[in-house]
């Protein structure tokens, strides 16, 4: 899918999003690209960019009173940018978000409420998560005694590296480190309880922050299947990690395909694409209470 805007200055091209520089604002465009094992795959997941954008917008609106975020809400500014894009770019409807430019803090603010993924691997090996000791006898997918804040360095290319809270304070200062932790914990708590009421367990998630006009501000995407581990509450139980509402079918197929995890990646079969579309759509439906909207009813910005 072509998400380029000819003549617009490109700010950053990521694995999924293309971001354009509009001066005081950025225009984020979520494509249908999908990555696995740090490689962008040749096969797109139809509608994925719309799910990511509309779900982020949903959470930004829901949590705006808790932590400020960078989504631009001024209708006059949004209308001006929509006019600059032009009606002929209806292919971008629903997958763009106009945001205020922030001074990004290069930290992934991860909050874990359950023992899964790399946290389970560390606990099984050493009884710790992010270097902090946990009680003995926890099982895979167990709910933690309390949510844990496990920050990591933000790396655009390659794997992020988990750091201690003391290391975070050394990088950004004790005051900002505390503010990042408190904001992350507050957001996780509200989102976890909201999701649980809708039959979804928010096992873990990551947030990104920046400074806008001197205020700590939530940026990038938020609480999507690409940045969070969502489980079906009806299938969750300690001891077995349930399937996630994310790209796990893609990872599973690639792991069994014989691919060596180096580019280029193989094309995905149709059934894997369809299964992934279903998972993203189901997460959206359960969390928002609505089906994924069709692009022709969505605005450009």
- Residue corresponding to tokens 């292919």: 91
Q: What is the pLDDT of residues 147-165, one digit of tens each?
A: 999 999 976 655 678 999 9
pLDDT per residue as tens digits for the range 207-225? 999 999 999 999 999 999 9
239: region left, alpha or beta (phi > 0 left; psi from -120 to 50 alpha)? left
Q: What average pLDDT does range 220-249 have in this prediction?
A: 94
What b-and-e string marks burial along 128-142, b requiring 16 or more CB atoms within 10 Å of the CB? ebbeeebeeebebbb
The contacts of residue 237 (CB under 8 Å, 6+ apart) are 141
Q: What is the pLDDT of residue 67?
A: 97
Digit-coded pLDDT (tens) for 129-153: 999 999 999 999 999 999 999 999 9
Q: Region 183-212: what's the mean pLDDT?
A: 98
Helix/strand/coil for 107: strand
What is the helix (H) or strand (E) element at residue 56, kind and residue range?
A: helix 48-63
Q: Cβ distance 276 to 250 under 8 Å?
A: yes
Tell whether the model's pLDDT for residue 11 goes beyond 60. yes
Mean pLDDT score of the chain: 94
CA 231 to chain centre: 15
The H or E element spanning position 194 is: helix 174-197
Output the pLDDT for position 2: 54
pLDDT of residue 138: 97
pLDDT given at position 157: 58
Q: Which domains does the chain have, with CATH numbers?
A: 10-102+249-297 (3.30.200.20), 103-232 (3.30.470.20)
Read off the pTM: 0.94
């Amino acid at each position: 899918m072509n998400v380029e805007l000819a003549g617009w200055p490109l700010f950053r091209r990521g694995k999924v999003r293309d971001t354009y520089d509009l001066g005081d604002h950025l225009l984020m465009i979520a494509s249908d690209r999908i990555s696995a094992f740090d490689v962008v795959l040749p096969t797109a997941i139809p509608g994925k960019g719309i799910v990511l954008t509309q779900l982020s917008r949903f959470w930004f609106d829901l949590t705006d009173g808790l932590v400020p975020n960078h989504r631009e809400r001024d209708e006059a500014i949004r209308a001006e940018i929509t006019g600059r894009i032009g009606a002929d770019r209806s292919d971008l409807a629903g997958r763009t978000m106009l945001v205020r430019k922030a001074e990004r803090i290069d930290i992934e603010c991860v909050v874990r409420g359950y023992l899964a993924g790399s946290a389970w691997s560390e606990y099984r090996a050493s009884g710790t998560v992010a270097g902090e000791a946990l009680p003995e006898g926890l099982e895979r997918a167990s709910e933690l005694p309390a949510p844990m804040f496990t920050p990591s360095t933000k790396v655009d290319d390659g794997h992020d590296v988990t750091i201690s809270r003391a290391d975070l304070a050394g990088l950004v200062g004790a005051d900002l480190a505390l503010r990042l932790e408190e904001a992350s914990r507050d957001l996780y708590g509200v989102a976890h309880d909201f999701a649980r009421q809708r039959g979804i367990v928010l096992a873990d998630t990551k947030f990104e922050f920046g400074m806008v006009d001197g205020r700590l501000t939530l940026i990038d995407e938020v609480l999507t299947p690409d940045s969070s581990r969502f489980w079906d509450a009806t299938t969750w139980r300690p001891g077995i990690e349930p399937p996630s509402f994310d790209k796990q079918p893609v990872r599973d197929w690639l792991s069994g395909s014989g691919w060596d995890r180096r580019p280029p990646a193989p094309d995905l079969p149709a059934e894997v694409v369809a299964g992934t579309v279903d998972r993203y759509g189901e997460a959206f439906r359960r969390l928002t209470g609505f089906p994924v909207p069709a692009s022709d009813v969505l605005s450009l910005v």
